[in-house]
Amino acid sequence: MADLFSKFDALIEQREALLSTGLTDPFNLVMERVESPTVAICNGRRTILLGTYNYMGMTFDPDVVAAGKQALDEFGSGTTGSRVLNGTYQGHRECEAALRDFYAMDHAMVFSTGYQANLGIISTIAGKDDYIILDIDSHASIYDGCALGNAQIVPFRHNDVEALEKRLRRLPPEAGKLVVLEGVYSMLGDTAPLKEMVSVSKAAGAMVLVDEAHSMGFIGENGRGVAEAQGVIDDVDFIIGTFSKSVGTVGGFCVSNHPKFEILRLVCRPYVFTASLPPSVVATAATSIRKLMHGRAKRDHLWENSKRLHAGLKALGFTLGTDEPQSAIIAVIMPDLEKGAAMWEALLHEGLYVNLARPPATPANMTLLRCSLCAEHTEEQVGEILGMFEAAGRATGCIN
Ligand SMILES: Cc1ncc(COP(=O)(O)O)c(C=O)c1O
């Protein structure tokens, strides 16, 4: 019998070699208690959280928590059904209304995760004989959406407007085309040149989908994302987002002004063939989204945090993913996985949690320590974080 697990042998060996040095498993951390959006107890000790996607710190917002509790009492723990059968409650409709108001768009469709939103929308709207033109550094859920459908896939170099234009020019002019972009690329925290990319896409007759998972709530005048910040939101056909980051719960969505959008509720398999979100989750999401409409002060503070951390890490001698802070993600580039894992553990011992990211999730085979800031991090906490990076960096030889 051929062992179907033999394909994982190299990964198992690499993992065992890393853990045999006595290193704490960076992919198995348990948060024993979570005290706030920025502090948890890990291995019995107070740990500052700098590796969550809780950008706007909504997880402990009293109104959000109260809405979830009330929905749990009034509607029970789950819907036990698909959105198209018994799984649409009043709360799902209210959540979609909140999204329409947040984006000032005509249609909103809530999925059970952001992953499923990409899977569903991409695989459903781009069919046989259509083309999907996507940034090569796209998120796994975008690639999986492509794999689930049967359109032709045309990747182009990361954030390269000319490469996108060249690819578009080579495609049959009459063919259906969907250009898929992200507002913020989550590994390095860099933003896309959406203004130029949307313009060349439209000139080539393509529809445009932008995944704003890491920018919704934070970037743009009203927190609508990078497309809003760069003034092209009205030219974007579909915006994908998630509730698992700035919104502070779980779920995904697509918003659009396309007049035929609602038909997707009947033909999009990852929407139809899965259970809908629990009432407590959509209640927390709707409340959070409505509060994010008035989140200007939080957005400003998060930008301050991002600038302070970026400048501080640079001054300490770390190599960062972007020259300037472009989002709430600051990526620290490590020389290799061993050093990255050692630095990750040293930070944890200091009382700081960051994300260790490695290939294949990262571009160019990089090992990264990804720092995601929160609007609830105080100025003092950012100072503490920099002190921890300095101590861990020196202890591991990552900086002098
Ligand atoms: C760019 C991007 N899109 C989609 C998702 C999926 O979101 P969710 O966690 O809601 O499945 C993520 C999650 O990390 C992401 O980074």
Q: Please provide the DSSP assignment of 23-47 as one string.
A: ---TT---EEEE-SSSEEEETTEEE
CA atoms of 142 and 119, how far apart (whole Å): 7
266-324 per-position pLDDT tens digit: 999 999 999 999 999 999 999 999 999 999 999 999 999 999 999 999 999 999 999 99
The model's pLDDT over 270-282, given as tens digits with 9 standing for 90+, comes to 999 999 999 999 9
Provide the β-strand partners of residue 239. 210, 255
Q: In the prediction, which pLDDT does 101 show?
A: 98
Cβ contacts of 324 within 8 Å, gap of 6 or more: 310
Candidate from 73-87, 280-294, 358-372, 374-388 with smallest mean pLDDT: 358-372
Ligand 1 centre distance from Cα of residue 180 (Å): 14
- 110 close to 282: Cβ distance less than 8 angstroms: yes
Q: What are the residues facing 182 on neighbouring strands? A: 211
> Would you state the pLDDT for residue 38?
98
Confidence of residue 361 (pLDDT cuts 50, 70, 90): confident
The binding-site residues of ligand 1, defined as CB within 6 angstroms of any ligand atom, are 113-115, 118, 139, 141, 182, 186, 211, 213-214, 242, 244, 252
Q: Give alpha helix (H) positions in the chain.
A: 9-19, 62-75, 90-103, 114-125, 140-148, 161-170, 194-203, 226-229, 264-267, 269-272, 279-292, 296-316, 337-350, 379-396
What average pLDDT does the structure give for the chain? Answer: 96
Distances (CA, A) of 132 to 153, 206, 207, 209, 384: 5, 9, 10, 10, 45
Among the residue ranges 106-110, 277-281, 357-361, the one predicted with the least confidence is 357-361
Q: How far is the CA of 245 from the centre of ligand 1 (A)?
A: 8
- Beta bridge pairs of residue 54: none
Instruction: List all residues 6 or more positions away from 275 whose beta carbon is below 8 Å from its beta carbon.
Output: 78, 79, 80, 81, 82, 87, 112
